[in-house]
Copies of this chain bind each other. A is one copy, B any other.
Amino acid sequence: MENFEFYAPTRMIFGKDTHLQVGKIIKEYGFKKVLVHFGGSSARKSGLLDAVFHSLEQEGIQYVTLGGVQANPTLSMAKQGIELCLKEKVELVLAVGGGSVIDSSKCIADGVGNPDVDVWKFFTKEAAPKKALPVGTILTLSASGSEMSNSCVITNEEGGLKRGFGSSLHRPLFSICNPELTYTVSKFQTGCGTVDIMMHTLERYFGIGEANGVTDRIAEGLLKSVIEAGRIADREPENYEARANLMWAGSLSHNDLTSAGRSFMMQVHQLEHELSGMYPRIAHGAGLSALWPSWARYVCASGVERFAQYAVRVWNIDMDFENSMNTALAGIQATEDYFASLDMPVTLKQLEVSPEVLEEMAHKCTFFGKRTLAGRKELGEADILAIYKAAMGA
């Protein structure tokens, strides 16, 4: 087990009707003015926004609003939020939405905390934030884990660059997680969320480092429960237990619990960022499910025993003691079949990606030749291109 720090201080308020407490919770902390940041019209139509405004008003908390965040949240939207917060002297950003809204809120928080720095420099690692406005969330989508993580991913429309960076400063102070708010999430978005949650744990599980007792077992247990809950939520969108398990697993999958004592590089996420950077219409979860099987088969030889462990413990596949590669590949196939059973794409062709962009994507993914992707198997530009090509499908 490698040395590690674990720090997940977000206060998680989880369960039915918890969003109605938001005004009370913010008042406890003593904040007087907040930005309510949200996405499209669904939060308004469902009555969620009205309930939030009402709760804030009841406690005498002032607020300004900024809606319209879309999937793959943009730098320009965040900059709009930064300006508004500075002008209005906002004390906390309240994200009402899923990962896109939360990431946009984190970026706003970073920008307000460091008004003299171009916030994009944090994403290009040219600068590091010194402060950040506190962020609170009301989660409406189980997927990104952003509600309990230190990570933030933003797309700069200039050049279609999608980049992420992690900072303890913008990790949410509190997150209100009511699984009922996800009942209306579509079948497709539920599938995307299930894939994304699994992927946050899988990326860690297949990071660098060998077997790791407690972290492995927790990761495997978490994956088993997500697989089961995802299958149920796909068929019964209003099954509370399934929605609750997806939501809680989503938070735990990205708060570093499943990587304690192990290094991880999020290779598949890096591959996917280029994809949805190039094609903003592609949902993150769909991009991940289309890429993971090809990535796994490509790197499998660098960790056969580990892929076999995954197959046996997560998918209950019998170990082939004479040829562990058979077991490893069966686990990858089981994962691919599971994604397909949720009607998630398992090739880039299904996503209507043009074979002509693969080289450009591979080049961008190396930051134009400036990096390789570290991991169990280090990936250079030729490897990345080979994975993209394999992922196109027959």
Contacts of A229 in B (CB 8 A): 213-214
Cβ B214 vs Cβ A225 within 8 A: yes
Q: Is A69 an interface residue, CB under 8 A from the partner?
A: no
Cβ B8 vs Cβ A4 within 8 A: no
Q: How far is the CB of A144 from chain B (nearest CB, A)?
A: 17
Q: How many chain-A residues does the 8 Å CB contact rule pick out?
A: 44
- A219 CA to B213 CA, complexed, in Å: 13
A223-252 contact mask (Cβ, 8 Å, vs B): 1 or 0 = 011101100000000001110110011001
- Cβ-defined partner of A221 (8 Å) among B4, B6, B18, B218: B218
- Cβ-defined partner of A213 (8 Å) among B3, B14, B213, B245: B245
Q: Is A261 an interface residue, CB under 8 A from the partner?
A: yes
Cβ B14 vs Cβ A6 within 8 A: yes
- A14 CA to B18 CA, complexed, in Å: 34
Cβ A241 vs Cβ B1 within 8 A: yes
Cβ A221 vs Cβ B228 within 8 A: no
Cβ A8 vs Cβ B5 within 8 A: no
Q: Is A89 an interface residue, CB under 8 A from the partner?
A: no
- A242 CA to B13 CA, complexed, in Å: 34
A251-280 contact mask (Cβ, 8 Å, vs B): 1 or 0 = 010000100110000000000000000000
Q: Is A126 an interface residue, CB under 8 A from the partner?
A: no
Q: Is A15 an interface residue, CB under 8 A from the partner?
A: yes
- A260 CA to B14 CA, complexed, in Å: 9
Contacts of A218 in B (CB 8 A): 218, 221-222, 252
Q: How far is the CB of A17 from chain B (nearest CB, A)?
A: 8
Contacts of A225 in B (CB 8 A): 213-214, 216-217
- Cβ-defined partner of A1 (8 Å) among B5, B9, B240: B240
Contacts of A48 in B (CB 8 A): none
- Cβ-defined partner of A3 (8 Å) among B9, B14, B222: B14
- A9 CA to B224 CA, complexed, in Å: 27
- Cβ-defined partner of A9 (8 Å) among B9, B214, B240, B257: B9
List 11 A-B residue pairs with CB atoms under 8 Å apart, sorted by A's residue number.
Answer: A3-B14, A3-B18, A8-B9, A213-B228, A213-B241, A213-B242, A214-B222, A214-B229, A214-B248, A214-B249, A257-B257
